[in-house]
Amino acid sequence: MRPDWSTISRIRDNFRSFFEQNLECELCLEPSTSPTGICRACTNDLPFSGLCCPQCSEPVVNEGRCGNCQQHPPTYDYSHCSLYYQPPLTHWITRCKDHRDARQISRLVDLLLTSPPLLPVAPDIIVSIPSHPLRLAQRGFNLSAELAQAAGQHLNCDVHHRALIKHRRSEHRGQNAQQRKAIHSLHADLSIPEGCHALLIDDVMTTGSTLDEAAAILKSQGAAIVGAWCLARTLKT
Instruction: Give the residue from 18, 16, 230, 4 showing the smallest Cα distance to 106.
Output: 16
What are the tens digits of pLDDT across the range 80-97? Answer: 999 999 999 999 999 999
Q: For strand 125-128 and strand 78-84, is the pairing parallel, antiparallel, or unpaired?
A: unpaired
64-73 CB burial, b ≥16 within 10 A, e <16: ebbeebeeee
CB-CB contact of 145 with 161 (8 Å):
yes
pLDDT of res. 187:
87
pLDDT of res. 11:
56
CB-CB contact of 35 with 25 (8 Å):
no
Q: Give the angle subtended at the CA of 208 by the CAs of 202 and 211, to the nearest 5°.
A: 50
Q: Residues 34-46: what's their mean pLDDT?
A: 90
pLDDT of res. 191:
87
What are the tens digits of pLDDT across the range 115-155? Answer: 999 998 899 999 999 999 898 888 999 999 999 999 999 99
Q: Tell me 195's DSSP state.
A: T
What are the tens digits of pLDDT across the range 152-177? Answer: 999 999 999 999 999 865 555 554 55
Instruction: Give the residue from 85, 128, 92, 135 showing the smallest Cα distance to 228.
Output: 128
- Which phi and psi angles does 51 have, rounded to 5°? -70, 120
Instruction: Give the residue from 104, 187, 114 showing the smallest Cα distance to 151.
Output: 114
Percent of the chain at pLDDT above 90? 71
Average pLDDT value over all residues in the chain:
87
pLDDT of res. 13:
52
The Cα–Cα gap between 194 and 111 comes to 32
